[in-house]
Amino acid sequence: MINLEDIGMHLPQGYLFKNIGLQINKGDKVGLVGKNGAGKSTMLRMIAGSVQASEGRIHKPKDCTIGFLTQDIKIDTDQTVFEYLNTSNLVLTKINKRIDEINQELVTREDYESESYLGLLDELNDLNLEFNVHEGFLWEEKITNTLRGLGFNEAELGQELNTFSGGWKMRAELAKILVNNPDAVLLDEPTNHLDILSISWLENYLRTFEGAVIVISHDRLFLDNVTNRTLEIMKGKVYDFAFAYSKYKLVRAEELERMASAKKQQEKDIKHTEELINKFRAKKNKAAFAQSLIKKLEKTEIIELSDDEVSSMKIKFPLSVRPGKWVLEMEDVGKSYGDKLLFKDVNITVGREEKIALLGANGTGKSTLLKRVMKNLEGEGTITYGHNVNITYFAQDQAEKLDPTKTVFETVDNIAEGEIRKSLRSVLGAFLFTGEDSDKKVGVLSGGERTRLALCQLLLSPSNFLILDEPTNHLDIKSKDVLKKALQQYEGTFIVVSHDREFLDGLTNRIWDIENYNLKIHHFGVKEFLKRKMELPNPASAKEVSLKSKSTKEKKEDQPAKLSYEEQKELKRRRNKYKNQVNRSEQAIEKLEARIKELDVIIANLDYSDEDASNKVLADYESQKKELDEQMEIWETGTEGLIELGD
């Protein structure tokens, strides 16, 4: 469908890539990977036609349509979210406009038997048929379903798009691309501004999409769930693997191992050849032989290996001073914007060394809660810091706040204090800014490079309490792994907001979930949290279930079910069994949650020097959590049983 023939892209600093030949077919689901700056986004722009290749040609069918989602979309419109999508299909818009014109004309005319009047009727009939062929009668429903899938609620469909943040505008643009059903979809970091539920919806959509998909993403799980092919850009070449990301990594590692062995042998052969050339080039009877060796050496294609610089990148967040037993206390904390309530009545004490993931759908107030914690925002309630607490805050737009006119070195030099100033270049090297990179202006850095530089600034600000709002946005997969290891080893407390499921897994020991204007605390892992979250019905589906149940009950009242005495007896027995099961588990859950809350306070003030006592408390805590999980399963089974019986 799309054919790249000997494609090359030359920049002032040299070739980004050259001699690239690729075939993208209908149904291909391609993950485009490579280090930051390798040329992934440039490759998508060339395929989309927004950037011209320096060399070669890209062949596409004349009627081939491409939907391209970029990282830097700019939308300036007073249209509502729904109107923005509704007017995006030019064919349907043109047909609709002409149908309206004809209908208006038919209302005013009375020459019902004239040729021109009958001609209008024929044209109207043809237009309606064409409208049907383009699925125009399903168009509005398709728009609504897609916007809902990407997180918009009913009320937001009628709001002007300019009133939304950049992340929500990106969602609207993505929805516009999907509803128009192009032959190929090109997506540059589509999950950066999506919450977990929207990411799952997009995964399901793309899996069943009939056209081609090429996606750049630093979300490993998203790539595994969507793609069936991986293209890696490395050192100006493109390597093609018929696997999703995780399988590609295994195959690539084996291939690199073979290449490393081949490179060693090649270097040995080259050295031997050079020795022969030096030995024989001065001898008359061997000069021709030496020349043939020189030509052979010139034709040798040198094996190049990718330097895995990121594997050597080690970040350690320094601890400033050891804080007290608790670092943060929130009392009756809340925040509203006019009539819009985000959260209320948040009462919690955060103990030393707690590792917290703050989750919730976009728009529930996660970033706002972090700003309240930082006291950067006024609101209800009080925020109190513990003894010796030093907070470092990484905002969602931290990388964008960097001064574009400063160099990389100047950026860190301006904030570094004390002994670490002597080793600033070593610190930058740990963040992959080596050699001349430190003299680059911030304005020319890619999104990933800016994020790494902002994290470098974080490193130079010793603290004992980190607040991180989407720190992995624009980081590549390897850099995210390194950041995750650094946070796992961090001796302080942190609260992190992230929608990256792979990054959060195994990182935290608490989950804060903003739901229904309240902050709920969970003590299980992210995978278990998401599993439970996905199983819960949303309000809309709950309402549908309720209406369905009501309708079913009304039907039953109209047409009473004829059950035998034994069947009625068995039904009553099962209903009582499930009711008792639910009641018992609810009582047990209430006691267990109260006990776990008590243990949270005890653990926050635990003296770990008394090993026997601390181990006993921690064992009790794990036992209570395990029992709580078991009771939750019993409650779910009982509730499902009652629903099946119509209760």
pLDDT digits (tens, 9 = 90+) for 496-530: 998 888 889 889 988 999 888 899 998 888 878 87
- pLDDT of 623 reads 86
> Does the pLDDT at position 537 exceed 60?
no
The pLDDT > 90 percentage for the chain reads: 27
Per-residue pLDDT reduced to its tens digit, 168-217? 888 999 999 999 999 999 999 898 878 877 888 899 899 999 999 999 99
The band of 548, judged by pLDDT with boundaries at 50, 70 and 90, is very low
Strand partners, 8: 55
Per-residue pLDDT reduced to its tens digit, 361-388? 777 888 899 999 999 999 999 999 999 9
* Lowest pLDDT segment from 164-173, 298-307, 563-572: 563-572
Classify burial at 265, counting beta carbons within 10 Å of its beta carbon; exposed 0-12, middle 13-18, buried 19 or more. Answer: exposed
The band of 555, judged by pLDDT with boundaries at 50, 70 and 90, is very low
Hey, what are 90's tokens? Answer: 């030019």
> Does the pLDDT at position 558 exceed 60?
no
Residues 6+ apart with CB under 8 A from 335: 342, 343, 344, 365, 368, 369, 372, 377, 379, 380
> CA–CA separation, 341 vs 356, rounded Å?
23
- pLDDT of 567 reads 66
Calculate Rg over the CA atoms of the chain: 31
Per-residue pLDDT reduced to its tens digit, 450-473? 888 888 888 777 789 999 998 887
The band of 646, judged by pLDDT with boundaries at 50, 70 and 90, is low
The band of 647, judged by pLDDT with boundaries at 50, 70 and 90, is low
Residues 6+ apart with CB under 8 A from 545: 537, 643
Residue type, 549: S
> CA–CA separation, 343 vs 516, rounded Å?
8
> Does the pLDDT at position 333 exceed 90?
yes
Per-residue pLDDT reduced to its tens digit, 582-613? 778 888 888 888 888 787 778 767 776 777 88
> Does the pLDDT at position 164 exceed 90?
no
3-state SS record for 344-380: EEEEEEEECCCEEEEECCCCCCHHHHHHHHCCCCCCE
The band of 222, judged by pLDDT with boundaries at 50, 70 and 90, is very high
Per-residue pLDDT reduced to its tens digit, 224-281? 999 999 999 988 889 999 999 989 888 888 877 787 788 888 888 888 888 878 877 7
Per-residue pLDDT reduced to its tens digit, 60-74? 988 899 999 988 778
* Lowest pLDDT segment from 29-43, 67-81, 376-390, 539-553: 539-553
How far is the first Cα of the chain from the last one, in angstroms, to the nearest whole number? Answer: 54
Placement of tokens 């007290």 in the chain: 324
Hey, what are 581's tokens? Answer: 């099961």
CB atoms within 10 A of CB 441: 14
Q: Check if the beta carbon of residue 59 is closer than 8 Å to that of residue 89.
A: no
> Does the pLDDT at position 544 exceed 60?
no
- pLDDT of 356 reads 94
> CA–CA separation, 301 vs 456, rounded Å?
38
